[in-house]
Structure 1
Amino acid sequence: MRDDFPDLARRALRDAGYSTKAAAREMHYDPAYLSRVLNGKQRPSENLAHALDSLVGAGGALAGTLLSDDDRKRVARSAENPSRLDAGTVDALAGVLAAYRRLDDSVQPRTIIPATTAQMREVTRLLRAARGRHRDRLADVASEWVQFAGWLSAQVCAFGEGLRLLDEAVELADETGNGTLAAQALNFKGYIARQQGRPRGIARWFGAAATTPGAHPAQRIGDYLQAAGGLAEMGEAGAALRLVEDAEKLMDAAAGLPPPETAYWLTPDFNRMNMGICTLALGRYSEAADHLRAGLAGLPAELRDAPWTWEHKAALRRAVAAA
């Protein structure tokens, strides 16, 4: 697996407004050493990785993208002999992916797209040659990598590439019958339709996500609400309200369940924001503002300024202005 820590760290420092010299001075490190790390000529110490992470406010996600020496060797062995893929390799790849997803909560999407795309290609290349009892789990990890790359493309309005990747992610999820991952990829297609202002696409893709076999109840709640928003924009208020009722019926079932690991953000507060998007489309502006305000306030502190919250903050401003 590629070591993209230098690229990620360099881009994150740039976005945070630090030159190499300024970052070294702030962290009390030798600028020459930091320069070698950022240019991929020297592997960072664990202390430096965490210092960089703290400097850019990544909450541990940047440091988490760096594989340990043992994991690097394990992944390299699997890459050389995919027929002997082991559980440790899959664990290492999944761990790095989890760090990338958390990094998306604190840095600009463009910062991590190049590294994400490169890592995705490495994992899917390994999957094509992999054999044995760990292959299905690797297929799930690959599906999530591809889905994540599609999500990042959607965030920077590269919609064609995003849709292509999300279709590929659905196919990979279907290989192993992973309804959670398939539903999330379809959800992201609904997100793209909303960014494009296509209410029929909103209703179609969120509706498909909500009815995907194996989808988590928390996913289905959010998907029903967002599909309802699409129907409301089409003037189908009655049909929209029926989907809201479907979502509300699932809330008790979801209340005692943690969100899926691959969609850790799907908390009740997050779905308050989905309810806000829905009620805004229904023209219930005060209600929408209340849901959006409560949902945003209920997010963990490390998520409140995530780039993906901007859509909800803009919706709150529209709701307040129209109320």
Structure 2
Amino acid sequence: MTTARGNAVTFGAKARELMQARDLSLRSLAKLTNFDPGHLSRVLNGHKPAGLELAQRLDDELAADGTLVALADERFARAADTPRRVDTGVLCTVAALLAATRRLEDQTSAATVLPSVRGYLAMTDRFAHEARGGVRAEAVGLASELTQYAGWLHVPLRRWTQAERFLDRAAVLGMEADDPQRVTTALSFAAYTAMRREQHKKAAALSEAARRDTRVNPGLRTYLTYQAAEISAADDRGAAYRLLSEAEAMVDRIDPAELVESTYWYTPAFFLGTHAFVLDKLGEHERARELMAESLATLPEEWRSAEWAERRRAFLAA
């Protein structure tokens, strides 16, 4: 079974999304996977089950990082049909799909992955609403993370109202799940959105709220400190320099093994560019340009060209 009910993403829809991102036709993909085009078409249209072999081949050819194999899993489809019976294994599958989608966004764009995220979110919302017992808190937490990511994806599209609505809801869901990491991430993204809209007071309030709970991983704590420094640069240079110094020291103490999947990009190269934004706000323009150039040069290639790095590329082009 390759389909899921409601608005949830399907095996075929996800495969077509990946084909479009790589400009691959059905016949080209059939040739690459050594499957009959007619059979492949029936699978992608939901008229036939994918089967593990085909799912694995498509996953490999489309660099789906396990997404298509997961969507072909019978357990996943059954859970979509009967969300009340969702278990931890299925929620782990959704989390893996989200992780793969984040990586795909690095290579494509927010608009490319948003349909899949909406599908995953529709399914996870049902899990969060209908799940029973101990699994419900896990489902609510995952719904928070997907809602937060949906909000983030609306930022590069400049859909500010939608971004804020998703991020507000993500924070509420995170509180319901008693998950400080997800609450704090939603608040930090909301502060970032306010910064992009030049809503300084709102950004400062959201950033301060995000920094109150220290029960988050080191990568997020470091980002929050840089974010507070950038916000402070507008009216409190002393505080901005103090926070910048704190953040720089924190980068050196980050252990990559302690980072959760939702913060995989919090690397020294990423933070170097964040540091540059703060220095630019403080008037150290030449040093800021040097650091930004170094940051972009040391980021992984797919990150350098990613949509989210456009602000960093534009910084050097200005």
Matched, 1:4 2:10: yes
Contact kept in structure 1, 2:270 and 2:299, CA below 8 Å: yes
1:157 aligns to what SS in structure 2?
Answer: coil
1:155 aligns to what SS in structure 2?
Answer: coil
Q: Displacement of 1:163 after TM fit?
A: 0.8
Contact kept in structure 2, 1:209 and 1:220, CA below 8 Å: no
Q: Give the 3 Å change call, closer, same or farther, for CA 49–193 of structure 1 in structure 2.
A: farther
Could you report, residue by residue, the CA deviation over 1:53-97 in whole angstroms, capped at 9, with x for unpaired residues?
5555x4626536524224433x25751xx2x54322322222222
Matched, 1:150 2:151: yes
TM-score under structure 1 normalisation? 0.83
Q: Displacement of 1:153 after TM fit?
A: 1.8
Contact kept in structure 2, 1:152 and 1:162, CA below 8 Å: yes
Paired AA for residue 125 in structure 1: R
Contact kept in structure 2, 1:226 and 1:277, CA below 8 Å: no
Q: Give the 3 Å change call, closer, same or farther, for CA 16–163 of structure 1 in structure 2.
A: same
Q: Give the 3 Å change call, closer, same or farther, for CA 98–242 of structure 1 in structure 2.
A: same
Task: Quote the Cα distance in structure 2 between the aligned partners of 1:146 and 1:243.
Answer: 29
Q: What's 1:68 paired with?
A: 73
Q: Displacement of 1:273 after TM fit?
A: 1.9
Q: Give the 3 Å change call, closer, same or farther, for CA 285–30 of structure 1 in structure 2.
A: farther
Query: More deviation in 148-157 or 249-258?
Result: 249-258
Alignment of 1:5-84 (within 5 A): 5-25=11-31, 27-53=33-59, 55-56=61-62, 58=63, 60=65, 62-63=67-68, 66-73=71-78, 75-76=79-80, 78-79=82-83, 82=84, 84=85
Q: Give the 3 Å change call, closer, same or farther, for CA 41–157 of structure 1 in structure 2.
A: farther
Q: What's 2:242 paired with?
A: 242
Q: What's 1:309 paired with?
A: 309
State the superposition RMSD in angstroms.
Answer: 2.8
Could you report, residue by residue, the CA deviation over 1:95-145 in whole angstroms, capped at 9, with x for unpaired residues?
222222222222221122122113212211221122212222222111111
Task: Quote the Cα distance in structure 2 between the aligned partners of 1:200 and 1:63.
Answer: 44
Task: Quote the Cα distance in structure 2 between the aligned partners of 1:195 and 1:55.
Answer: 37
Paired AA for residue 77 in structure 2: R
Task: Quote the Cα distance in structure 2 between the aligned partners of 1:197 and 1:49.
Answer: 46
1:40 aligns to what SS in structure 2?
Answer: coil
2:279 aligns to what SS in structure 1?
Answer: helix
Could you report, residue by residue, the CA deviation over 1:160-208 in whole angstroms, capped at 9, with x for unpaired residues?
1111111111111112321111111112112322332334444333343
2:296 aligns to what SS in structure 1?
Answer: helix
Paired AA for residue 271 in structure 2: N
Q: What's 1:321 paired with?
A: none
Task: Quote the Cα distance in structure 2 between the aligned partners of 1:122 and 1:212.
Answer: 29
Q: What's 2:218 paired with?
A: 217
Paired AA for residue 287 in structure 1: R
Paired AA for residue 297 in structure 2: A
Q: What's 1:93 paired with?
A: 94
TM-score under structure 2 normalisation? 0.85
Task: Quote the Cα distance in structure 2 between the aligned partners of 1:133 and 1:199.
Answer: 40
Contact kept in structure 2, 1:109 and 1:155, CA below 8 Å: yes
Query: More deviation in 130-139 or 254-263?
Result: 254-263
- Runs (5+) with no aligned partner, structure 2: none
1:104 aligns to what SS in structure 2?
Answer: helix
Q: What's 1:282 paired with?
A: 282
Task: Quote the Cα distance in structure 1 between the aligned partners of 2:300 and 2:55.
Answer: 24
Alignment of 1:130-279 (within 5 A): 130-232=131-233, 234-255=234-255, 258-279=258-279
Where has structure 1 moved over 6 Å in runs of 4 or more? none
Task: Quote the Cα distance in structure 2 between the aligned partners of 1:166 and 1:306.
Answer: 22
